[in-house]
Amino acid sequence: KSSFYRERFFATHLRVNLDMLKTRHREALLLRCCLAMQQRFVVDNTNPTIAERARYIAPARAAGFRVVGYYFRMEARDCVGRNARRPERERVPPQAIYGTRKRLQPPTLAEGFDVLYAVRLDESRGFVVEDWADEV
């Protein structure tokens, strides 16, 4: 997700990331500032459940933002492999990846997204963004 953010949004959107901010309180403060200033932002967190995504979608919509979601269509084992290639201080335990996968509820437009996209990696490990299909 973070590589996708850097490649696609770094120059235009502020990054809201719990790993960087460390607490939900700090994250909420930054989110409120973005909403108040009408600053475009990207939530660079996994947010595998509808409830977790709602904490960003509802306030963004209320503030008049267009809400765009990107679903990363990747197998857990591939995520574990990518994670292993990250710098050691940035790695997460493989159990966390598998645990998040078990909790995953694929997004739907009914959650409040204006548009959804599916993201996958191509053979050269580049990001491919595709129009959303309800079947993931």
CA distance 90 to 17: 13
* Cβ proximity of 65 and 51 under 8 Å: no
User: Residues 124-128: contacts with CB within 8 Å, 24+ apart?
Assistant: 127/3, 127/4, 127/7, 127/8
The residue type of 16 is: V
In degrees, to the nearest 5, what angle opens at C-alpha 78 toward C-alphas 76 and 79? 65
Per this entry, what is the length of the chain?
136
Strands 115-121 and 127-131, by their bridges, are antiparallel
pLDDT of residue 7: 93
pLDDT of residue 64: 98
Token pair 């053979």 is found at 123
pLDDT of residue 130: 95
pLDDT of residue 135: 55
**Burial, 71: exposed, middle or buried (Cβ in 10 Å; 0-12, 13-18, 19+)?**
middle
List the pLDDT tens digit at each of the 136 positions of the chain: 888 999 999 999 999 999 899 999 999 999 999 999 999 999 999 999 999 999 999 999 999 999 999 999 888 888 888 889 889 988 889 999 999 999 999 999 999 999 999 999 888 878 999 999 875 5
Query: Which pair of structure tokens corresponds to residue 64?
Result: 């008049």
| pTM listed for this prediction | 0.87
